[in-house]
Structure 1
Amino acid sequence: MTIGYLRVSTDKQTVENQKSEIRAYCNDKLKITVDDWIEVVMSSRKDLRDRKIDELLSVLSKDDKVIVSELSRLGRSTQEVLQTIERLMNLHVELHIIKNNLVINPNNKNDFVSKAMVTLFGLFAELERDLISQRTKEALKSRKEQGVKLGKPEGTLQKSKYDEYKDRIIELKNLGLSLNKIVSNHLEPVMGKGNCSVQSLSTYITKRGL
C-alpha cells in the first residue's frame, strides 16, 4: 500500500500542492498510484496525535510506502522528525521524501544508502536526546544552586511514554485483550521493541487507574 502524507500549518493553506507533487512523483518515477491519503490541516504547535502521526502509523504494514513532499511534514522539530522516521523504520516501511530526493528502505539489505541513512538518523536521534538530557541536567543544577526547590508536588503523576496511547490502551483493555496482546500486537509496532513491556504497562494502568 502507498500512502501520501499531507500536512499544512494553518487552515489558510491547502494540501493540494503537496498532493499534486506526490501524485506526479508516484506516476512518473515509481509508476504506481497512491492508495490512500492522510490529510492534516493543523497548527504545528499541536502534538503528534493531533497531527495524525499515530493514524498514519496505525494503518501501515511491512513493505508499505509513505510519500511526503519534504521532511518538515513529519514533525515540528528535528527530534520529532527523527522519532517519526525511527518508528517508520521499526515498521519496515519505505519512506520517500521528494524534495530531498531521498528514499529510506529498511527492507533492502543491499541498499547501502538506506542502511547508511538509517544509521545516521539513529545517531542523530541519539545525539539530540543526549543534548536535551545534558541541557536539562545543567538547568536543574543551576536552579538547585540558586536554591529553587526541585521536583513535582506530592501526588503529581509524572508524564509517561504511554500517555500518547492512553485512549487506545483503554479501548483495547475494554475489548478484553490481555496486556501481553496489547503490548505485542499494538504497542511494540509503534513504540519499538524494548520500549514497552507488560510489566511497565501494568504499572501505568494501575497508577492511572485505567
Structure 2
Amino acid sequence: MIYGYIRVSTDKQTIENQRYEVTKFCQKELLVVDEWIGETISGTTNVQERKLGRLLRKMKKGDILICSELSRLGRNLLMIMSILNECMNKDIQVWTIKDNYRLGSDINSKVLAFAFGLSAEIERNLISQRTKEALARKKAEGVVLGRPIGSKSATTKLTGQEKKIKGLLDKNISHSAIGRILGVHRITVSSFVKESKQLSHNESVRT
C-alpha cells in the first residue's frame, strides 16, 4: 500500500499544495496513492494523538509513506527520529519529495537514521548545557531561582472561577457539590474559598 500524508498546522494553510506535490511526484514515478491522510494539527502534538499515529499502527511491511518533506511528520528532530525508527522496525519505507529521502530498512537508511539520532542527541545535550549555564550565571549574579520556600503559587485550578463559585455558594451549594461540578476535590474548593478574599465570607457554608 502507498499512503500519501499531508499536514498543515493551521486552518489558514491549505493541504492542496502538498497534495499536488505528492500527486505530481507519483505520476513521475508511475506510482498510485492508495490512501490519502490529511490533517490540520500542530507538528508538536504527540504523534499517537494524530491521524499519523493511527496510520503508522495499521501500516505493514513493504508499505510506503510519501510526504512532501520530513517536517510534515513532526516539528522537532526527536519526534521525527522516533517516527522513522518505528517505520524502519516495521520495514515501512518513508519517501519525501523536497528532501529527496528514500528511507527503508537498508543500510543507507540506517546510516542516515544514525546520523539523525546523533544530531538529536547532540541537540538535546546542547540545550541541557545551555540551560545549566544560564542557571549557573543567574545564581552567580545573586538571582534567587525557583519559588521561595513556603510560598504558594498565585494561581490554582480554580483561579478565574470566583464569580461562578460565588454564585453556587449564594445558592447554598456545598463545597463537595461544587467540587463535583468543577471537577476538583472538595478540599480544593474549601481551601480556595478560605484563601479568596472575594469568597471568604462564605466559609460558613456547610461542606
Distance apart, 1:39 and its partner CA: 0.6
- Distance between the aligned counterparts of 2:48 and 2:81, measured in 1? 16
Aligned residue identity for 1:16: E
TM-score between both structures, scaled by the size of structure 2: 0.59
Distance apart, 1:81 and its partner CA: 2.7
Aligned to 1:123: 118
- Distance between the aligned counterparts of 2:56 and 2:139, measured in 1? 41
DSSP 3-state at the match of 1:3: strand
**After superposition, what is the alpha-carbon deviation per residue over 1:137-189, rounded to whole angstroms, capped at 9, x for unaligned?**
44555566644347xx9xxxxxxxxxxxxxxxxxxxxxxxxxxxxxxxxxxxx
Q: What aligned pairs does 1:89-128 form with structure 2 within 5 A after superposition?
A: 89-106=88-105, 108-109=106-107, 112=108, 114-128=109-123
Aligned residue identity for 1:120: A
Distance apart, 1:116 and its partner CA: 2.6
- Distance between the aligned counterparts of 2:98 and 2:136, measured in 1? 42
Query: Can you give the 5+ residue segments of structure 2 that lack an aligned partner in the other structure?
Result: 151-207
Q: Call closer, same or farther: CA 1:127–1:70 in 2, change over 3 Å.
A: same
Distance apart, 1:121 and its partner CA: 1.3
DSSP 3-state at the match of 1:66: strand
Distance apart, 1:24 and its partner CA: 2.3
Q: What aligned pairs does 1:41-60 form with structure 2 within 5 A after superposition?
A: 41-44=40-43, 46-60=45-59
Report the count of equivalent residues. 147
DSSP 3-state at the match of 1:130: helix
DSSP 3-state at the match of 1:32: coil
- Distance between the aligned counterparts of 1:11 and 1:136, measured in 2? 34
C-alpha contact (below 8 Å) 2:5/2:37 kept by paired residues: yes
Aligned to 1:4: 4
Aligned to 1:185: none
DSSP 3-state at the match of 1:115: helix
C-alpha contact (below 8 Å) 1:3/1:65 kept by paired residues: yes
Aligned to 1:21: 21
- Work out whether 1:135 is the aligned partner of 2:130: yes
Q: Call closer, same or farther: CA 1:132–1:19 in 2, change over 3 Å.
A: same
C-alpha contact (below 8 Å) 2:44/2:76 kept by paired residues: no
DSSP 3-state at the match of 1:11: coil
DSSP 3-state at the match of 2:71: helix
Query: Can you give the 5+ residue segments of structure 1 that lack an aligned partner in the other structure?
Result: 154-210
Distance apart, 1:88 and its partner CA: 2.5
Aligned residue identity for 2:26: C
Q: Call closer, same or farther: CA 1:115–1:48 in 2, change over 3 Å.
A: closer
- Distance between the aligned counterparts of 1:144 and 1:60, measured in 2? 51
- Distance between the aligned counterparts of 2:124 and 2:90, measured in 1? 21
C-alpha contact (below 8 Å) 1:42/1:50 kept by paired residues: no
- Distance between the aligned counterparts of 1:62 and 1:142, measured in 2? 51
- Distance between the aligned counterparts of 1:135 and 1:119, measured in 2? 24
Distance apart, 1:96 and its partner CA: 0.5
Bigger RCO (CA 8 Å, 6+ sep): 1
Aligned to 2:145: 148
Q: Call closer, same or farther: CA 1:20–1:124 in 2, change over 3 Å.
A: same
TM-score between both structures, scaled by the size of structure 1: 0.58
DSSP 3-state at the match of 1:132: helix
